[in-house]
Chain A
Amino acid sequence: MADLLDHLRLAALPPEAEAFRTEVKDFLAREMPPAGADIRARSWLAFDGEFSRKLGARGWVGVTLPKRYGGAELDAYRRFVLMEELLAVGAPVGAHWIADRQSGPLILKFGSERQKEKYLGGICRGEIFFGIGMSEPNSGSDLASVGTRAVRTDQGWRLTGRKIWTTNGHKCNYVIALVRTSGSAADRHAGLSQFIVDLNLPGVTVRPIVDMTGDAHFSEMFFDDVELDDDALIGNEGDGWKQVNAELAFERSGPERIYSSIVLLDAWLNWLRRTGRAQQHVEALGRFATHLATLRQLSIAVTAKLAAGESPVVEAALVKDIGTEFEQATPAFIEAAAGADPSAPPDDELLRTLAYVSHMAPTFSLRGGTREILRGMIARGLGLR
């Protein structure tokens, strides 16, 4: 029954992973594009093809992918260290983030040899970028209800439908789309497949969606009779549900579920130090550090399972839910603190950083599975469903 809790075992990063950290810090000291906290707070939504290529040249994109496909063949622990360091400073990793985190690993796990040869090298060089083709206007949490369809043709498949909320879709080369290839929505998990869709194909229209911060990181996609090769199908026809769940496990298991507000926290602390106010917030700072340190240990426990070749679906959901709570509590608290003295408000850069994170904070517990869905998954993991 409570096996789930026993699965989150204390684990430590191995010494090699720690040694790797210094290399990453050195790289960032040299190559990190200078940017204010408000820009860096965009974190892994910020698209910088140049930075992704530099990271790729260093061998740090697709780090867990095999060397024969261009990866560095590092373990999950070293990936964790790399991710931590990139997120801690708000490096603009958005261009390659999805490909590195889930698209590449998905292709490695379910793709044909030809697909691995075709895509993984470019992913690892930080040259080709992938988006997630899951959500649709009428299919968010109920992902199995997707209506985008692919029907067989002589050359391969014809794709018709829409996707939405694809991060940086308008700047990506490909999406991996979950579509229905047989049956109907009433068949639920059966009859779904995944396709690698080249966004340059005729019939594909991608439009950015402007958000309330003025950014346009989201996008929507229209597929109007897009002709796909046979080759575009990844894995087996009809295995889409199983595959997309494996992809979601990759999506949910990383340390970005605790570090989304870390640039804001650092910006606030730096302001407090500069203006001699840090002591006033000693308890809040201690609470942030306490939560951060402990959440990190939970994230490492999930990483240990990835390193052991497991798919820690429910454990990742648990850590993501409690992690995003911390990520959201950070701007909530800092916003109150920032208004504690109307005669001495924080500087504009801190206010912009705070505003950005406050405005985007609701998405922390929407993306990659809403809070309500994750809690349902945890409940199932506890044997309640």
Chain B
Amino acid sequence: MFAEAIEAIITEQCPPATVRAIESGASAQPLAAAFLDAGFHELLVPEAQGGGGASWREFFDVVALCGAHAVPLPIAQTFAARAFVRDSRTLPAGLITLAPSLRGEAEGPLEASHVPFARVSSHVLATRGDALLLLAVADAHQTPSGIHGSLAASLRWEAGAGQEVPGSVTGDRFHALAALLHAGLLAGAMKRAFDLTMAYANERSQFGRTIGKFQAIQHQLAVMAEQVAVGRMAAQAAFAVDQGLPGTAACAVAKARTSEAAQGVASIAHAVHGAIGITEEYDLQLSTRRLHEWRLAHGSEAYWHRRVGQMFIDSDAALAADFGRSIFQT
């Protein structure tokens, strides 16, 4: 239900031209307003507290849509932030992104490196210890990475910046759920890359036939389909909670599996497209640049495999199959 409404906003207001414009520095305000004015902020807040009462199971489709359309705003993060704080009224109205890390001594400057969507956000929500800190982007010194088209930036605040916000999702839980959002974005972006690649294989002709008729291409597309399917399944299974929030193990597996799959999907997408695929003008790059960036955001599979591995080692499950089964609640 929410997904359809959000999809309508996205298809109307966020075509590839808008994504490009915002990446090139055009104002994100009109697009932000389209989402925020629609009043979806409280999507994940329970109905009893005046929110939309959506479950995380339903939220998956919204996140995947944002990923598929390369929405250049932290929409998923802005909605999720309201589920992380005790009272959503403590959050400001604009776009909020989530910090993968926060460094700094008490009373000293604070640094959040490579914050996704920092350049188009008004605030950053970070976790420190078992608390949440809300920081204004306008108060920070921004250092973009210099990666072409990236909306991420490293942010540095002077001592005393930000305010603590009472949170119910802090520390490790915050990081796991932030990673899960990116798993959902990856799932959507992988599907988009796959759809573009299928369309290209069915249109592009060489040697008197469409390239999708060649066995070598067919097999690559089959493998790509497998990676898209398994990535989507991992993310969707992790989101599939009807009450409360996804568990950390599920978030870890989702981010690991989508991150690992993203590499293969991007690789095959470009292999099938040939040179046109790496041009700025063609839309594939909007998705594949994100596959690479989002693989890294909030921990790649290298990080989350270690987390899952530690749970596996520490588990008292008698069998690998028993441990594997314990991950998703679905």
Contacts and interface: CB of A to CB of B under 8 A. Distances in A.
A282 B253 contact: no
Nearest to B254: A294
A375 B222 contact: yes
A361 interface: no
Interface string B288-330: 0000000000000110111111111100000111111101101
Given A285-B313, A286-B308, A292-B324, A5 B228 contact: yes
Contacts of A366: none
A266 B18 CA distance: 51
B54 interface: no
A291 B237 contact: no
A88 to B, nearest CB: 4
A287 B310 CA distance: 11
A372 B219 contact: yes
B229 to A, nearest CB: 5
B321 A384 contact: no
A322 B226 contact: yes
A321 B313 contact: no
Contacts, number: 171
Interface in B40-76: none
A91 B217 CA distance: 40
Contacts of A95: none
A262 interface: yes
B257 A262 contact: no
Given A297-B233, A385-B218, A321 B226 contact: yes
A290 B256 contact: yes
Given A283-B305, A289-B324, A294 B237 contact: yes
Nearest to A81: B325
B320 A375 contact: no
B236 A285 contact: no
Contacts of A292: 320-321, 324
A5 B232 contact: yes
B222 A289 contact: no
Indicate the size class of the contact surface on chain B: 35 or more
Q: Which of A266, A294, A298: most chain B Cβ within 10 A?
A: A294
B85 interface: no
A293 B327 contact: yes
A379 B221 contact: yes
A10 B309 contact: no
Contact of B305 (A286, A301, A375, A385): A286
Contacts of B307: 286
B233 A282 contact: no
Contacts of A108: none
B310 to A, nearest CB: 6
A375 B224 CA distance: 11
Contacts of B308: 285-287, 289-290
Contacts of B310: 282, 286
Contact of A2 (B194, B213, B306): B194
A286 B327 contact: no
Interface in A272-299: 273, 278-279, 281-298
Contact of B302 (A269, A283, A378): A283
Contact of A379 (B222, B302, B325): B222
A294 B257 contact: yes
Given A278-B313, A318-B226, A379-B221, A290 B194 contact: no
Nearest to B220: A375
Contacts of B158: none
B130 interface: no
Contacts of B256: 286-287, 290
Contacts of A287: 256, 260, 301, 305, 308-309
B309 A283 contact: yes
A382 interface: yes
Contacts of A84: 321, 325
B321 A286 contact: no
Contacts of A307: none
A376 B232 CA distance: 22
Given A285-B309, A288-B320, A301 B233 contact: yes
Contacts of A279: 313
B61 to A, nearest CB: 11
Contact of A297 (B195, B302, B328): B328
A337 to B, nearest CB: 13
Given A88-B322, A301-B233, A286 B309 contact: yes
Contacts of B253: 289-290, 293-294
Contacts of B330: 10-12, 297
A281 B324 contact: no
A89 interface: yes
Interface in A27-46: none
Given A282-B313, A294-B230, A298-B233, A10 B240 contact: yes
A5 to B, nearest CB: 6
A382 B229 CA distance: 13
Given A84-B321, A289-B323, A294 B312 contact: no
Residue from the set B212, B233, B253, B302 with the largest chain A CB neighbour count within 10 Å = B233
Given A84-B321, A89-B319, A292-B321, A297 B234 contact: yes
B156 interface: no
Nearest to A265: B320
22 contacts: A2-B198, A5-B191, A5-B194, A89-B319, A282-B306, A282-B309, A282-B313, A285-B308, A287-B256, A288-B320, A289-B309, A289-B324, A290-B253, A290-B301, A290-B308, A293-B234, A294-B230, A294-B253, A321-B222, A321-B223, A322-B227, A375-B218
Sorted from nearest, which 4 A-B pairs have the closest CB atoms?
Answer: A286-B309, A286-B305, A379-B218, A286-B308
Interface of A: 1-2, 4-5, 8, 10-12, 84-85, 87-89, 259, 262, 265-266, 269, 273, 278-279, 281-298, 301, 318, 321-322, 372, 374-376, 378-379, 382-385
Given A286-B309, A379-B222, 11 more contacts: A1-B202, A84-B325, A89-B319, A290-B308, A292-B320, A293-B328, A294-B230, A297-B330, A376-B219, A379-B221, A382-B198
Interface of B: 191, 194-195, 198-199, 201-202, 212-213, 215, 217-219, 221-223, 225-230, 232-234, 236-237, 240, 252-253, 256-257, 260, 301-302, 304-313, 319-325, 327-328, 330
